[in-house]
Amino acid sequence: MNLLIGLSRVIDGVTERVGRAARWLILLTALISAGNAVARYAFNLSSNAWLEVQWYLFAAVFLLCAGYALKHNQHVRIDIVSSRFSRRTQAWIEIFGTALFLLPTAALILALSWPVFVDSWHSGEVSSNANGLILWPARLLVPAGFGLLVLQGVSELIKRIGFLRGLLPDPAQAFDHGGAERELAEAILKARSPD
C-alpha cells in the first residue's frame, strides 16, 4: 500500500502543476478576448483565428483542470444524500462512484478521442472558418484532459482506500473549508457580536 500511496502523491503533484499552469490560460483568454474586441470595434479588424484561439484556450482550461478540480474536491456531486452518512460511508460511495462511473467513462472517452486526434494530426485538419486554425491541438486536449482525469481518479481511489485502512487522513477534509458562504456568515456574525 505504501507504493500506491507514493504513486498517489506523484499523481497529485502532476495534477497540481498542470492545474496551476492551466489557470493562467484564463488570463490569457481574457486578454485575447479584450484585444480582439478592441481591434474589431476600434479599428474594424477581425479574424476568426483570434476567436478560435479563445475557444482552444477555454477548452484547455476546462479539460486540463478537470483532474485539478477532482483533486481539490471541487467537482460536481450530489451531497444532499451522502452528506447524511458517516465519512467512512461517504468514502465507500466515492470509491464505488469512481470505480464504476468516473474511471470507465473517462477511459472510454480517452480511448475514443485518441484516434480522432491522430486522424486530425495526419490529415493536417484545418478549421472550415476563414483564417481558421489547425485543429489537432484542440483535438489533443480531449485525450490529454481525460488522461489526467483518469490518473487523478486512480489517486483518489488510493487515498480513499488508504483512509478506510487507517493509513491516511480523510482526503475530503483536506479541502473542507466550508466554502465562501460559511466564511461570509461567520464574518457577519463576528461583525454583529458586541465585543
**Given this model, what pLDDT does residue 169 score?**
83
105 — pLDDT class (breaks 50, 70, 90): very high
Q: In this structure, what DSSP letter does residue 130 have?
A: T
Tens digit of each residue's pLDDT (9 = 90 or more) over 122-177 = 998 888 777 778 889 989 999 999 999 999 999 999 999 998 888 888 887 766 55
User: Exposed, middle or buried by CB within 10 Å (0-12, 13-18, 19+), for 69?
Assistant: middle
CB 65 within 8 A of CB 168: no
Q: Cell numbers at residue 181, please?
A: 458562504
**pTM of the predicted model as reported, rounded to 2 decimal places:** 0.79
Which neighbouring-strand residues pair with 126?
134
- Of the pLDDT bands very low, low, confident and very high (cuts 50, 70, 90), residue 181 is low
Tell me the pLDDT tens digit for each residue of 46-56: 777 888 888 89
Q: How many CA atoms lie within 13 A of 28 on its CB side?
A: 15
78 pLDDT more than 80: no
